[in-house]
């Protein structure tokens, strides 16, 4: 089982913004919504395009390439053309650090 690892500071991802980070070669998008931080694989499952370049609305991220939309909690697609979910990672805030578990 993998451990949580620090990938960013809370101040690096203000509320209602996203940030791309890399952990063990995995590109991950962090999304800060309300008092939670979500972590997803930073690639649209419809076409290889970074979700971190997309738009964050509530608990969903929209890929700006073709409009595919994904749920931040589950990674489930919420709008076509995506039909496959995006991988999600467990994320937490410890003090001022954002930590993610990959693996």
CATH number of the CATH domain containing 51 = 2.102.10.10
Q: Domain range spanning residue 63?
A: 4-101
Domain total for the chain? 1
Average pLDDT over residues 84-94: 98
**Tell me: the pLDDT tens digits for 37-82?**
999 999 999 999 999 999 999 999 999 999 999 999 999 999 999 9
Place of tokens 């451990």: 3
Helix (H, G, I), strand (E, B) or coil at 53: helix
Tokens of 86: 């995006």
What confidence category does residue 1 fall into, taking pLDDT thresholds of 50, 70 and 90? Answer: low
Q: How much is the pLDDT for 102?
A: 86
**Tell me: the pLDDT tens digits for 17-31?**
999 999 999 999 999
Hey, which bits of the chain come out as E strands?
Answer: 4-9, 17-23, 26-33, 36-41, 55-57, 60-62, 69-71, 77-79, 88-94, 97-101
Tell if the pTM clears 0.75, that is, is over it.
yes
Give Cβ neighbours of residue 95 (< 8 Å, ≥ 6 apart). none
């Amino acid at each position: 089982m993998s451990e949580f690892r620090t990938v960013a500071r809370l101040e690096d991802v203000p509320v209602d913004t996203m940030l791309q980070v890399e952990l063990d070669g995995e590109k991950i998008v962090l999304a800060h919504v309300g008092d939670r931080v979500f972590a997803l694989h930073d690639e649209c499952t419809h076409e290889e395009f970074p979700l971190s370049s997309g738009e964050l609305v509530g608990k969903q991220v929209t890929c700006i390439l073709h409009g595919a939309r994904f749920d931040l909690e589950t990674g489930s697609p919420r709008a076509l053309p995506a039909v496959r979910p995006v991988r999600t990672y467990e994320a937490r805030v410890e003090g001022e650090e954002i930590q993610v578990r990959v693996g």
